[in-house]
Amino acid sequence: MFESIRKHSKILMWVLFPLIILSFGLFGADQYRSDPSGEKVARVDGKDITRPEWDLQHRNEVDRIRQQAPDVDPALLDSDAARYGTLERMVRDRVLLAAATKANMTVSEERLSRLFAQDTSLNAFRTPDGKFDRESFMRVTGRTPEQHEAAVRSELATQQVLLGVSGTAFAPAGQAAPTLNAFYDRREIQVARFEPSAFASKVTLADADVEAWYRDNAARFQAPEQATVEYLVLDLDAAKKRVVVSDAELKNYYDQNKGRFGTREERRASHILITAAAGAPAAEREAAKAKATQLLDQVKKAPNTFAEVARKNSQDPGSAEKGGDLDFVTRGAMVKPFEDAMFALKKGEISDVVESDFGYHVILLTDIKPEVVPPFEQVRAAIETEFRAQQATQEFAKAAEAFTDSVYQQSDSLKPTAEKLGLTLRTANNVSRTAAPGATGPLASRNFLNALFAPDSLERKNNTEAIEVGPSQLAAGRVTQYTPARTIPFEEVKAQVRTQLISERASALAKAEGAAKLAAWEAKSDGASFGAPVTVSRLEMAAQPGPVIEAALRADPAKLPALVGVDLGAEGYAVVRVGKVVPRTPPSAEEAQQERSQFTQVIAAAENAAYYDLLKERFKAKILVPRPSEAQLAAVR
């Protein structure tokens, strides 16, 4: 039935179209509208976070992490725990934003302008004439300048919410000392270990014992379902190969972007600044301007004294001690009034008084590095690479539509799509529902794997739909062979079963022997056999297991020496003789100050967490999807 629909979809469309139009007229289009916002996954202050918003935010975070750490395991980033972490951060951002809005916390235009002026990363988006390249910024960052400004403004505002708490945290010596001393606490201990390997030879097993244990623990010997698959990937690299480039197009692109392939003009200036905030009273600004005018007259009469006058009078702490020198800068690095004046000067000229949001400047232009543009042939290869990359984005959009349609229409094979778009048909064996360690590309994508193991794909061997598996990356696949999950027959794992059972029983014998020795030595210490005394702490473990350290430190100092038994699970058992408390070596004054500072940071973090919990309750923040297990969350922390 479904195959018939696929083959005759166009005919069916013309049959159904009049019926759909008629139903709109009878019942109204509103009856067919689904909720565009998607599934609700969280709520803050009465406003929902939807699954599409969550998916988009997680995709953006994954892309950023992959750029910073290309070797990170993709399966880890696509896990339920990683996705839940993204949602928690989204909720946190919404809570803090709601708190900032409620408290009317804003960021001044002056502070925002100063921040952007100091952000050197934005210089890459300036054209040679100083204009901001909006399209380049959107292409690289994935958002508009207005969205970037709003995001920065929001981030600064929300920082203020917690700054009022963390900024006031302090730790008195009376509070810090006991806590730090407990953390650095040390004990002298002796340990007697009872390891399973010493008891393995004492374990005797009949074949019936092994087979019975196998039946009771069959879940440990499961072979996962697996599939052999073939798949296609459409990405920007594939799209680039489809781009046809002519010399005329490259030359035209070069002419339009000459400044980007060479060195932009740089200017070096010194200045004298008399500060006056943009919102200062008029009288204060007039006084500052008068002072700047006086200094302008002074340096115009004796230009060689500019550096000395700047050292004595400039109120810019960053440049005054250097005689006002600002080093070489390109357009876009300075606030606009300053920049316009500086680029209007000739070398050696001094400007009139220039007003900006920071106050009043007197500017001396000391040097110019002219723009250098290499000839076309010298940069032709770089131009072609860049031009192809830009054209590939458009070509990818066209190819993506053809790819999506083709894998659906030709549902029983991927070969027609591969031939049509010039793609390589890839294969993979032993593919399971969860990404294998080290998997990359589509085989690391949970959405792609879910589509492969969907009923339609497994039962009918149809193509999956086109799945987005990364930025500008689509994939489609089909299962060519499928093996369901199964319990591995006893005969295939008999040796493995015997080994595990011996290990389990040897551990039980070791524990029993250790517990018996503990009871005997507590009753009579004569004949107790321990290793040499060692001093341990949370920072100095002396090659001892963590549970041994914790047990030793938990022993009551008032009742030492004492014996403690420690169950080490598969590693057996330990009897620990805790001899005495060993005082820590007093830290130097510098170390003590550093420890106090770190402790204060811990206090600040705890107070921030408590305040955030209060805000979550105040703004009724709630995550509506199930929380992964603690073990899963720990794996991504």
Tell me the pLDDT tens digit for each residue of 576-624: 999 999 988 888 888 888 888 888 888 888 888 898 899 999 999 999 9
Mean pLDDT of 169-194: 85
What proportion of the chain, given as a percentage, has pLDDT over 70? 90
- Residue-wise pLDDT tens digits, 81-105: 888 999 999 999 899 888 888 888 7
* 264 close to 373: Cβ distance less than 8 angstroms: no
- In this predicted structure, what is the pLDDT of residue 382? 83
- CB of 226 closer than 8 Å to CB of 432: yes
Take residue 79 and report the two structure tokens written for it.
């896990």
Closest CA to 318 of 120, 110, 121, 118: 118
For residue 127, name the pLDDT band (cuts at 50, 70, 90). Answer: low
**Burial (0-12, 13-18, 19+ Cβ within 10 Å), 169:** middle
Per-residue pLDDT, 470: 81
Q: pLDDT tens for residues 57-70?
A: 888 888 778 777 76
Would the pLDDT of 28 be above 60?
no
C-beta atoms surrounding 17 within 10 Å:
10
Which pLDDT score, from 0 to 100, does residue 24 have? 37
- What is the topology classification, in CATH, of domain 42-167+622-635? Triger factor/SurA peptide-binding fold (1.10.4030)
pLDDT score of 395 = 86
Dist. CA 172–CA 182, nearest whole Å = 16
**Residue 246 above 80 pLDDT?**
yes
Asked if the model's pLDDT at residue 194 lies above 60, the reply is yes
- The CA distances from residue 325 to 142, 272, 288, 358, 537, in Å, are 36, 9, 21, 17, 54
* Residue that wins the pLDDT comparison between 81 and 257: 81
Helices 145-166, 109-118: crossing angle, 10 deg rounding:
110
Band (131; pLDDT cuts 50, 70, 90): low
pLDDT, average across residues 321-336: 88
209 pLDDT more than 70? yes
**Above 80 in pLDDT, residue 513?**
yes
Q: Poorest-confidence range of 131-145, 208-222, 296-310?
A: 131-145
Fold of 265-369: Chitinase A; domain 3 (3.10.50)
pLDDT of 631: 58
More confident: 446 or 345? 345
pLDDT reading at 403 higher than 70: yes
- pLDDT for residue 166: 73
pLDDT computed for residue 142 by the predictor:
66
112-116, 190-194, 389-393, 557-561, range with the lowest pLDDT: 112-116
Judged by average pLDDT, the poorest of 194-198, 445-449, 480-484 is: 445-449
Task: Tabulate helix, strand, coil % of the chain (nearest 5).
Answer: 55, 15, 25
236 confidence band (pLDDT: 50, 70, 90):
confident
Q: What pLDDT is recorded for position 25?
A: 41
Is it the case that residue 13 has pLDDT exceeding 50? no
Q: What is the mean pLDDT of the chain?
A: 84
CA distance 297 to 350: 10
Reported confidence tier of residue 14, pLDDT bands at 50, 70, 90: very low
Task: State the Cα angle at 99 between 98 and 104, rounded to 5°.
Answer: 95
Confidence of residue 21 (pLDDT cuts 50, 70, 90): very low
For the chain, percent of residues with pLDDT exceeding 90: 47
pLDDT at 558 over 70: yes
**Cα–Cα distance for residue pair 282/569, rounded to 1 Å:** 77
Q: How far apart are CA 196 and CA 569, in angstroms?
A: 10
> 235 forms bridges with which residues in the sheet?
473
Q: What is the pLDDT of residues 426-475, one digit of tens each?
A: 999 999 988 888 788 899 888 899 999 998 889 889 999 999 888 788 99
